[in-house]
A and B are shown apart, each in its own frame.
Chain A
Amino acid sequence: MTPIKIILIIFLLIVLRAFLVQKSLILTNRIIALVMFFFLLFLVLFPSVSTFMAGLVGVGRGVDLIFYFSHLFLLFLIIGLRRRTVVLTDMVTKLSRAIALQNPHKPHDENAQMHEKAQ
């Protein structure tokens, strides 16, 4: 086994563990994570399979195919994360505004109060 295979397998195991330790992860997602893990493990152990798959869709090398797909995957991930950030920012804005508006410090200066009364 070449060193790169060992590095990749260790990395895959770390990622798998990171998924499975999440208590909130539902069963379907656990299964998806496991299937993905074994699929990627398979590709690491038998790289020629990815080259065969690449040939099927008109890409020269298996590495290139994985490169393209990982780029697409990351792009979708970024869009998803950005959307999530936007939603969260909006929530924080609304919360902060509500807190600020619920706790106003009104003027207590004498002149100001006289002025308020005069109006």
Chain B
Amino acid sequence: MACSSIWIVIPAYNEGKILRDVLRELLDYNRSYHIVVVDDGSSDDTAAKVIDFPVHLLIHPTNLGQGAALATGIEYALNEKADVIVTFDADGQMCPKDITALVDEVLNGGVDVALGSRFLSAPPVGMPKTKRITLKLAAAFTRLTTGLKVTDTHNGIRAFRAKYLQKFRFTQNRMAHSSEILSEIVRNKLSYREVPVSIRYTTYSKNKGQSIFNSINILFELFTGGTK
């Protein structure tokens, strides 16, 4: 594991308030991670807050959406010869310790992709009931349309063996990219496994996160084909 280059891609849009804490926690946990933050055209000081951290920073000149920011970060990590690429959220909901388990699945568990799921272990603390129901419905929809046996489809923490990401086509700029990543796993016939992760529902993340009404938007984006 020591010789594998592990890249953490963090898309960030107006996360200036919390991003430093998230990065500090990540770096305290494991300093050998290469971190690339993609500032997705934030209107706040997200980029300025990151500049003195030992991380790679990419800045979109305009706001494109989380999916597009992830794709940019992934392309950068691939150019930098990453072995494993992990996607991670900027809002402080995710625990750095979960990265180890996900990366381990990819490096030693014999799968191409490890997906974080908040429904495999004890029920997430502080998760609003409506959110829980929406996510379960989204997972059921994905199981039906892609045939993937997953329990949590809109979880932003995942680890990929980097070489497979080269074949991925990212067309969903905005939130429908979670579903797109799953269908790309199917299209590329990759092996995958879900790994239990914990998600912290803080007041900040609840306010920043997806409203359940947005699931309708996600469906709309999928049916109308995003940017393609």
Q: Which of B193-228 contact A (CB under 8 A)?
A: 224-225, 227-228
Contact B72 A111 (CB under 8 A): no
Instruction: Compute how far the CA of A107 lies from the CA of B35 in the bound complex, rounded to whole angstroms.
Output: 9
Contact A109 B72 (CB under 8 A): no
Q: Which of B158-172 contact A (CB under 8 A)?
A: none
Contact A115 B61 (CB under 8 A): no
From B5, which residue of chain A is reached at the shortest CB distance? A119
A119 neighbours in B (Cβ, 8 Å):
5
Known interface pairs A89-B227, A92-B62, A103-B59. Does A97 touch B68 (Cβ–Cβ under 8 Å)? Answer: yes
Instruction: Compute how far the CA of A97 lies from the CA of B68 in the bound complex, rounded to whole angstroms.
Output: 8
Does any Cβ of A come within 8 Å of B43's Cβ? no
Does any Cβ of B come within 8 Å of A106's Cβ? yes
Q: How many A-B residue pairs have CB under 8 A?
A: 67
Does any Cβ of B come within 8 Å of A99's Cβ? yes
Contact A97 B54 (CB under 8 A): no
CB of A101 to closest CB in B, whole Å? 6
A96, A97, A105, A106: the one contacting B75 at CB < 8 Å is A97
Contact A86 B58 (CB under 8 A): no
Contact B56 A96 (CB under 8 A): no
A100, A104, A112: the one contacting B61 at CB < 8 Å is A100
Q: Which of B24-44 contact A (CB under 8 A)?
A: 31-32, 38, 41
Which bucket holds chain A's interface residue count? Answer: 20 to 34
Does any Cβ of A come within 8 Å of B64's Cβ? yes
CB of B16 to closest CB in A, whole Å? 16
Contact B76 A104 (CB under 8 A): yes
Main secondary structure of the interface of A (DSSP, over half): helix
Please report the total number of B residues contacting A with Cβ < 8 Å.
29
Q: Which of A65-119 contact B (CB under 8 A)?
A: 82, 86, 89-90, 92-93, 95-97, 99-101, 103-109, 111-112, 115, 119
Contact A100 B59 (CB under 8 A): yes
Contact A101 B75 (CB under 8 A): yes
CB of B33 to closest CB in A, whole Å? 10
Contact B54 A96 (CB under 8 A): no
Q: Among the interface residues A93, A99, A111, which one has the most CB atoms of the partner chain B within 10 A?
A: A93
Closest A-B pairs by Cβ, 6 of them: A112-B54, A109-B54, A105-B57, A107-B54, A100-B58, A89-B227
A-B contact pairs, 22 of them (CB 8 A): A82-B224, A90-B228, A93-B68, A93-B227, A96-B41, A96-B68, A97-B68, A97-B72, A99-B60, A99-B61, A100-B58, A100-B59, A100-B61, A101-B79, A104-B76, A105-B51, A105-B57, A107-B53, A108-B54, A109-B52, A115-B31, A119-B5
A interface vs B, CB < 8 Å? 82, 86, 89-90, 92-93, 95-97, 99-101, 103-109, 111-112, 115, 119
B interface vs A, CB < 8 Å? 5, 31-32, 38, 41, 51-62, 64, 68, 71-72, 75-76, 79, 173, 224-225, 227-228
